[in-house]
């Protein structure tokens, strides 16, 4: 692929956007992200880190917008990126966005597809589409409110303003903040820890949390029970219970 690299470190996949100078998200980049996340569905991958440097992704390619508008067309990047983020969001394993520099517009939306977001202390995030006379089109209006709350998401989307790491942590967008030099190592280290965990159980928890959200309690409890039964029927469950009884560390194999 030309703009997206996928490298493996043990059971951790590092997906890196590489489209200088600011990793603008063209339709070609979005297509490659789809391919990269599909690669990450392989069972040998047990955790994923998504990043880009010096910027995570500074939004969509605005020149591409103009070309599309001048031709009377619709916005292709939004739908393609939406598909890529949905694949990322539903990966049956933990995912971390390591956010350097700018994560704006589609870049912010991409980060919201991950389970966790780590920000560099000089990073900026935001949904500035309103300043172009449009709105987020790859899940920003929906995922942002689920992460930081309805009212704060409304304020950020209405104003298009950028948020730094300190505020990002305070409003619940960021899970951790680190220096630019330490951020990726922190994300990879945490991902490596997730990769040694009970992968099927983690996937079941992820699915129960996502699928049960917003449902009436009785329906949500049924979702949880179905996910619990899946986790209970694994070799990792046997290992975890035996390790507890034998007072030793569990060694999960992800199955």
Q: What is the pLDDT of residues 122-174, one digit of tens each?
A: 999 999 999 999 999 999 999 999 999 999 999 999 999 999 999 999 999 99
> Helix, strand or coil for residue 223?
helix
Distances in whole angstroms, Cα of residue 27 to Cα of each of 33, 79, 82, 133, 236: 10, 9, 11, 20, 40
The reported pLDDT for the residue numbered 78 is 76
DSSP 95-162: EEEEE-SEEETHHHHHHHTSSEEEEETT-EEE-GGGGGT----SSHHHHHHHHH-HHHHHHHHHH---
The reported pLDDT for the residue numbered 60 is 75
pLDDT(72) > 70 = no
- Identify the band that residue 28 occupies on the pLDDT scale cut at 50, 70 and 90: very high
| Structural domains in the chain plus CATH codes | 4-195 (3.90.226.10), 199-245 (1.10.12.10)
Is residue 83 a contact partner of residue 34, using CB atoms and an 8 Å limit? yes
The catalytic residue positions are 109, 129
Which residue's structure tokens are 């409003």? 171
């Amino acid at each position: 692929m030309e703009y997206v690299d996928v490298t493996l470190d043990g059971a951790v996949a590092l997906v890196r956007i590489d489209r200088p100078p600011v990793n603008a998200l063209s339709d070609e980049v979005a297509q490659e992200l789809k391919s990269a996340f599909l690669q990450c569905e392989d069972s040998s991958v047990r955790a994923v880190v998504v990043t880009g440097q010096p910027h995570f992704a500074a939004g969509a390619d605005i020149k591409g917008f103009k070309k599309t508008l001048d031709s009377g067309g619709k916005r292709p990047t939004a739908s393609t990126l939406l598909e890529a983020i949905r694949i990322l969001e539903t990966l049956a394993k933990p995912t971390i966005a390591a956010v350097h520099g700018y994560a704006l517009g589609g870049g912010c939306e991409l980060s919201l597809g991950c389970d966790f977001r780590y920000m560099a202390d000089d990073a900026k995030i935001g949904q500035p589409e309103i300043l172009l006379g449009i709105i987020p089109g790859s899940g920003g209006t929906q995922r942002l409110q689920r992460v930081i709350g309805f009212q704060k998401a409304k304020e950020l989307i209405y104003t298009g303003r950028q948020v730094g790491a300190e505020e990002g942590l305070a409003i619940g967008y960021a899970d951790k903040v680190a220096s630019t030099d330490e951020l990726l190592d922190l994300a990879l280290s945490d991902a490596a820890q997730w990769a040694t965990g009970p992968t099927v159980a983690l996937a079941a928890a992820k699915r129960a949390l996502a699928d049960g959200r917003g449902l009436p309690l009785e329906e949500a409890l049924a979702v949880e029970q179905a996910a619990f039964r899946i986790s209970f029927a694994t070799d990792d469950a046997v290992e975890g219970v035996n390790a507890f009884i034998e007072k030793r560390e569990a060694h999960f194999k992800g199955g």
